[in-house]
């Protein structure tokens, strides 16, 4: 552990640790202009000059299950244990814009996240949590605008002004067409909704990160590190072009763009990936889009450790995997981090497992010396070479996407999906044949696994949620809700920003499903070309 005395950090030998090391520290080394200094273009070494030497990254823990009340209890526990930011998981019906009482939601309510059908659920979800002092990330895409507006309404009820709210809404619909499938509307109106959210937040919630452009889910589907950043940055370019076409100035929205990546156990390549992504995005924003604000050049990102690399066999080994993955994210310069619980390959994490995941981050932040200096791998022959190689491979993929007409056109051709599936097949074959070692799965196995008791959801949750919806509809003013939904439909048919009538509908206690159904009636739903 590095000690701290008056702002100077010392190592175990009692020697001072420099906050930044560079070529000048080694005789005969020349400065590398591709790297620059931390906090300076092209941000290879990090987006801030001091990085973690001033304070560590934001420690988020992704959580949400069952009812809003149960999730609220988990959030309070995480905050009590030292979490500095919340990250909300929503159940599948909420992600798809369906209420819990619709037939299509049967059996899925509260399964992979928390069920949120209305402003009342959101109020319970954040009850007793001061929204002016907590940063919240919401993993939601197709109905992202709705959940953000519900969050704002709950903040208002707490007396929190919109300009005091901080956090991120994922709002990355393009990767849903590539890797996840939780889309609702076709690409064109979906991109309009993204641009409307950009404009709304600039005017109403200025500290909010309006999008978290995600490579994580593509990586979980099998994308390589080079594919992950290539397809993510290509999607980012598409969002920037959409906002510019809607009449916005690049420096009005680009500083609030953020990204979301995975961190795997291949530590050196992951560090190189993060450094390459920063450098590429800085050049894209400056040279292609002419952004002048240095904050527009910065690729700020959240990281989650690799769920796809967790194993149900010998689950405690996942603690070692998550530690390495978290370390890779930190050495790569992440702004916030979620560490997976060791039992997530089996079921929802238990309280103990979630606490251990958070403690892993705290050990990295407070018991190691990785926070004592900025970008400790800078100048490493291996990492600098890997950074160049990942950048070149990602750049070639991005050129192929541009040749197809951009990210949306490439998605419609199935390019990204095909590339990811080929890589996923290669990984699966190498694992099956033993070329790629997975401890506890194809090597170092136990003859008999130790029993493990996972967390189970109460099967009565779905019925309880349906009862809450029925009670909400009985209490609200039906004329107000109906009139607000009509106004939303009219806005969707035209060109005005739909978030304002959407907010009015939610304030009138229209449900998430009703709002999405109103938009479905105007915009239709997306059907992938390979569905036939």
Task: Express each pLDDT in 210-267 by its tens digit.
Answer: 999 999 999 999 999 999 999 999 999 999 999 999 999 999 999 999 999 999 999 9
Contacts of residue 41, Cβ cutoff 8 Å, sequence gap at least 6: 282, 286, 294, 297
What integer is the mean pLDDT of 338-346?
Answer: 94
Domain count, the chain: 1
Contact 39, 46 (CB under 8 A): yes
* 430 upstream amide cis, omega within 30 of 0: no
Domain assignment present for residue 41? The answer is no
Supply the pLDDT for residue 476.
97
Supply the pLDDT for residue 408.
96
Nearest Cα neighbor of 298 from 487, 504, 40, 26 is 40
Domain assignment present for residue 392? The answer is yes
Contact 430, 80 (CB under 8 A): no
pLDDT at 34 over 80: no
pLDDT at 30 over 60: no
Q: Which two tokens stand for residue 446?
A: 């136990």
Domain assignment present for residue 230? The answer is yes
Domain assignment present for residue 471? The answer is no
Residue numbers of the domain that contains 221: 51-432
Supply the pLDDT for residue 457.
73
pLDDT tens-digit readout, 73-87:
989 998 999 887 899
pLDDT tens-digit readout, 463-480:
999 999 999 999 999 999
Contact 304, 322 (CB under 8 A): no
Confidence of residue 532 (pLDDT cuts 50, 70, 90): very low
Domain assignment present for residue 151? The answer is yes
What integer is the mean pLDDT of 272-287?
Answer: 98
Contacts of residue 276, Cβ cutoff 8 Å, sequence gap at least 6: 229, 387, 388, 390, 391, 394
pLDDT at 26 over 70: no
Rounded Cα distance, 125 and 87, in Å:
12
Beta bridge partners of 348: 455
Task: Tell me phi and psi for residue 180, to 5 degrees.
Answer: -105, -45
Domain assignment present for residue 123? The answer is yes
Domain assignment present for residue 13? The answer is no
pLDDT at 328 over 60: yes
Confidence of residue 2 (pLDDT cuts 50, 70, 90): low
pLDDT tens-digit readout, 118-154:
999 999 999 999 999 999 999 999 999 999 999 999 9
Supply the pLDDT for residue 222.
98
Q: 308: domain CATH number?
A: 3.20.20.240
What integer is the mean pLDDT of 510-514?
Answer: 98
Which of 53-67, 338-352, 393-407, 454-468 has the largest mean confidence?
A: 393-407
What integer is the mean pLDDT of 308-318?
Answer: 97
Rounded Cα distance, 215 and 333, in Å:
16
What integer is the mean pLDDT of 273-302?
Answer: 98
Confidence of residue 348 (pLDDT cuts 50, 70, 90): confident
434 CB-contact burial (10 Å; exposed 0-12 / middle 13-18 / buried 19+): exposed
Supply the pLDDT for residue 4.
65
Supply the pLDDT for residue 83.
85
Domain assignment present for residue 463? The answer is no
Contacts of residue 380, Cβ cutoff 8 Å, sequence gap at least 6: none
pLDDT at 403 over 80: yes
pLDDT tens-digit readout, 178-201:
999 999 999 999 999 999 999 999
Supply the pLDDT for residue 32.
61
Supply the pLDDT for residue 531.
46
Average confidence score pLDDT of the chain = 94
């Amino acid at each position: 552990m590095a000690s701290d005395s008056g702002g100077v950090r010392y190592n175990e030998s009692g020697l001072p640790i420099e906050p930044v090391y560079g070529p000048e520290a080694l005789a005969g080394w020349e400065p590398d202009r591709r790297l620059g200094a931390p906090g300076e273009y092209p941000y290879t070494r990090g987006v801030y000059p001091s990085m973690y030497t001033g304070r560590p990254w934001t420690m988020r823990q992704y959580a949400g299950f069952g009812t809003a009340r149960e999730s609220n209890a988990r959030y309070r526990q995480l905050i009590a244990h030292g979490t500095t930011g919340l990250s909300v998981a929503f159940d599948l019906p909420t992600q798809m814009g369906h209420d819990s009482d619709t037939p299509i939601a049967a059996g899925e309510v509260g399964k992979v996240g928390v069920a949120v059908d209305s402003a009342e659920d959101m109020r319970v979800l954040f009850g007793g949590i001061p929204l002016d002092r907590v940063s919240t990330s919401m993993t939601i895409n197709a109905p992202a605008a709705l959940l953000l507006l519900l969050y704002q309404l709950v903040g208002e009820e707490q007396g929190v002004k919109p300009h005091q709210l901080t956090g991120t809404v994922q709002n990355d619909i393009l990767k849903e067409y590539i890797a996840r499938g939780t889309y609702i509307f076709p690409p064109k109106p979906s991109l309009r909704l993204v641009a409307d959210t950009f404009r709304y937040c600039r005017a109403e919630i200025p500290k909010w990160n309006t999008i978290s452009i995600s490579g994580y889910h593509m990586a979980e589907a099998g994308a390589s590190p080079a594919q992950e950043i290539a397809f993510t940055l290509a999607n980012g370019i598409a969002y920037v072009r959409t906002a510019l076409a809607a009449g916005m100035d690049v420096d009005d929205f680009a500083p609030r763009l953020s990204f979301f990546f995975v961190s795997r156990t291949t530590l050196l390549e992951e560090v190189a990936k993060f450094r390459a992504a920063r450098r590429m995005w800085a050049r894209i924003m400056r040279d292609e889009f002419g952004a002048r604000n240095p904050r527009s050049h910065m690729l700020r990102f959240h990281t989650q450790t690799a769920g796809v690399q967790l194993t149900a066999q010998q689950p405690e080994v996942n603690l070692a995997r998550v530690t390495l993955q978290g370390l890779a994210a930190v050495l790569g310069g992440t702004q916030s981090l979620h560490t997976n619980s060791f039992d997530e390959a089996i079921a929802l994490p238990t309280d103990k497992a979630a606490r251990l995941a958070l403690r892993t981050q705290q050990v990295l932040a407070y018991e190691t010396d990785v926070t004592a200096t900025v970008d400790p791998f800078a100048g490493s022959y291996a990492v600098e070479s890997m950074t160049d190689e990942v950048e070149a491979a990602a750049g070639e993929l991005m050129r192929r996407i541009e040749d197809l007409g951009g990210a949306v056109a490439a998605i419609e051709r199935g390019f990204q999906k095909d590339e990811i599936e080929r890589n996923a097949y290669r990984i699966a074959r190498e694992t099956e044949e033993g070329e790629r070692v997975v401890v506890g799965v194809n090597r170092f196995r136990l003859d008999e696994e130790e029993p493990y008791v996972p967390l189970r959801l109460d099967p009565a949750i779905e019925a309880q949620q349906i009862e809450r919806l029925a009670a909400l509809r009985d209490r609200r003013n039906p004329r107000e809700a109906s009139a607000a939904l009509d106004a939303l439909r009219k806005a969707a048919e035209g060109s005005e920003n739909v978030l304002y009538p959407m907010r009015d509908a939610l304030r009138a206690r229209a449900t998430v499903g009703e709002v999405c159904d109103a938009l479905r009636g105007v915009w239709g739903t997306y059907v992938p070309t390979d569905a036939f």
